[in-house]
Amino acid sequence: MFDFLAEQDASICGGSHLKRRELLQLGALSAIGLSLPQLLAAEERVARKPGHEKRSAIMIFNLGAPSHVALWDMKPDAPREIRGPFKPIKTKSEDLDISEILPMHAKIGDKFSLVRSVHHGGAAVHDAGWQIMQTGRRFSGGVQTPHAGAVASHLLGRKTDLPPFVVLPELMGRGGGNMPNGQAGGFLGKAHDPFVLNADPSKKNFKVPDLLPPDQVGAARLERRRKLRDIVDGAVKNFESSDDARLLNDNFHAAFRMMTSKEARSAFDITKEKESVRERYGMNRFGQCCLLARKLIESGVGLVTINSFLTGFDQLSWDIHGSKPFMSIKQMKEIVAPMYDRGYSALIEDLDDRGLLDDTLVSTMSEFGRTPKVNPAGGRDHWPQCFTVSFAGGGVQGGRVVGKSDPVGGFPAERPVAPPEVVATIFHSLGLDHQALLPGPAGRPFPLVDFGSNPIKELF
C-alpha cells in the first residue's frame, strides 16, 4: 500500500530529527511552496547534447520593457524626437555600441551579444508579452504554455536538494491584460511551477520564509500549515490508486531534503558573501537577486529567472511612458539604468571570474520594446514591432550583433527574430532538442517550440 505517512526520519540543520509524519502534520511541505503535485520531481529524462551536460541558465526579464532606441539600438543620426537625449558609446567590442547610461555594460561588451531585430505580433500589453517571450507562444484558448524553466524542469528533473526552476524575487504582478504571466508549469502541471523566493534579498533581515524549519515558524503560519494535514487525510484514499502515487512516494523525500538540507539553505544565504561582493552587485533588490542567482546556479539549480521589476504601476520599472503612475526618461537615467547596469555587469564578471560563464547562459529580454518616437509626455510607449534582447555565456560568442532594425528602430530590417527562436536558443544552450515533444493538453504531443523555429545560430 502506498503510504507517504510512513515513519521515516528527516534531519534538520542542527542535528535534530523529525519523523515524516510529524513534518506532514506540521504542514511542513507548504513551507517550501510545494503542493502535492509539485512533489512529482523526476530523474533526468533526456540526454543532453555532448558538452552541454553542465549547462544552466539565468533569464533576466526586464519587466516594463526598456527602450531599445535609448539603450541597445541607438539612432544618433535620426531626428531628436527619435534618437532621444542619450548618446552612444563604444564598448570593448568593435562591433557593438550602446547607450552612455550603461557605462559598465560597455566594459564587458566582449562578453554579451545583442539581437536587435526581435518582434512579435501579440497585443501591446505587458502580460501578453510576458507570456509570449518566456514560453515562445501566445496565450490563447485558455492553454497556458509552460515557462522555459518549467520545460527544463520536466525534461531534466531535479539533480540536487534545490529546486530545478527558481523565480527571484517574486512572480510578476499586474500587467493590465488579465492574462497569465507565463512563469508557471502551464500544461505540464504544478509539479513544474517555480520555487518563488517571495522575499527581498537586499533587506538586512533577509531570510527565505519557505525554507524555515517548523521549529522556527510563527504560530499563525504554523496554524495554516496544519490545514495541510486535513487535506492530505481526505485525499489519500483516492490518491492511492492513481498512476502518480508511486512516483509521488519515490520523490516525497525530495521535499524533506530541500527543507532540511544545509546545502539548500547555504545556497540561499547571501549573508555569507563578502560585503565587497555584495556591494559590487549593488545593495538593492535587483543587484542582490543577481548575486543570489549566481549562488543558486553555482549550487546546481538549472534555471533561474530574475524579474528586474514586479509591475509597471506606481513602482520602479522600465515602463517609461513619461508621466505617473509610470516612469519618466529622467528616472530611467538616474535610478533604473544605473541599478541595472551595475547588477548585470557584476553578474557577468563574477560568473566569468569563477569559471561559470561558459556553462551559464544569461539572457535578458522584455515583453516588447518602446516606440521609436518620444511621446508628448517625454516618454515612450509600448512597441512589439521591434526590440532588442541579449545573450551571454552558455556557448554564446560575445561582442556580436545579430539582426538590424530600420533607421528609426521601428521594424526589423535584417534577420527578423521571433519569440520561439529566442526560447529555442535557451534550449539549445542547455543541450536540449528544441523540437522534442512534451505531453501537451488533451494528451496530444506538443513541441518545445513551434515547428520551423530554430535557435539563433549566429550567436554560437
Residue 406 lies in a domain: yes
Quote the cell numbers at residue 117: 531585430
325 prior amide bond cis, ω within 30: yes
295-334 pLDDT, tens digit per residue, is 999 999 999 999 999 987 888 999 999 998 899 999 999 9
Task: Please give the pLDDT value at position 172.
Answer: 94
Report the residue count for the chain: 460
Residue 255 lies in a domain: no
375 has a pLDDT exceeding 70 = yes
- Kind of pairing, strands 387-392 and 360-365? antiparallel
CA 101 to chain centre: 24
Residues 6+ apart with CB under 8 A from 322: 328, 329, 374, 375, 377, 378, 379, 380
The amino acid present at 19, given as its one-letter code, is K
169 prior amide bond cis, ω within 30: yes
228 has a pLDDT exceeding 70 = no
Task: Write the burial class of residue 15 (CB in 10 Å: 0-12 exposed, 13-18 middle, 19+ buried).
Answer: exposed
Confidence of residue 140 (pLDDT cuts 50, 70, 90): confident
100-136 pLDDT, tens digit per residue, is 999 999 999 999 999 999 999 999 999 999 999 999 9
End-to-end C-alpha distance for the chain, whole angstroms: 51
Quote the cell numbers at residue 48: 543532453
275-286 pLDDT, tens digit per residue, is 999 999 999 999
Residue 233 lies in a domain: no
Print the domain residue range for 446.
49-202+284-459
Residue 165 lies in a domain: yes
Residue 21 lies in a domain: no
Quote the cell numbers at residue 131: 507570456
Biggest distance spanned by C-alpha atoms of the chain: 74
35 has a pLDDT exceeding 70 = no
Residue 37 lies in a domain: no
For residue 330, report the phi and psi dihedrals to the nearest 5 degrees: -65, -45
Quote the cell numbers at residue 1: 500500500
CA–CA distance, 146 with 365 (Å, rounded to integer)? 17
Answer for the pair 35, 338: CB distance below 8 angstroms, yes or no.
no
**Helix crossing, 419-430 with 148-156: angle to 10°?**
30
Cβ count within 10 A of residue 262:
12
Residue 273 lies in a domain: no
Residue 237 lies in a domain: no
Number of domains in the chain: 1
Name which of 421, 412, 416 is nearest 451 in CA terms: 421
Residue 238 to residues 87, 152, 243, 424: CA-CA distances in angstroms?
65, 30, 11, 39
Residue 329 to residues 47, 102, 379: CA-CA distances in angstroms?
47, 14, 6
- Note the pTM of the prediction, 2 decimals: 0.85
174-207 pLDDT, tens digit per residue, is 888 888 999 999 999 988 999 999 999 999 889 8
CATH assignment at residue 170: 3.40.720.10
3-state secondary structure of 367: coil
Least confident of 139-148, 347-356, 405-414: 139-148
372 has a pLDDT exceeding 90 = yes
Quote the cell numbers at residue 396: 554564446
Cβ count within 10 A of residue 80:
8
The amino acid present at 49, given as its one-letter code, is K
How many helices and strands, by DSSP H and E, does the chain display?
14, 18
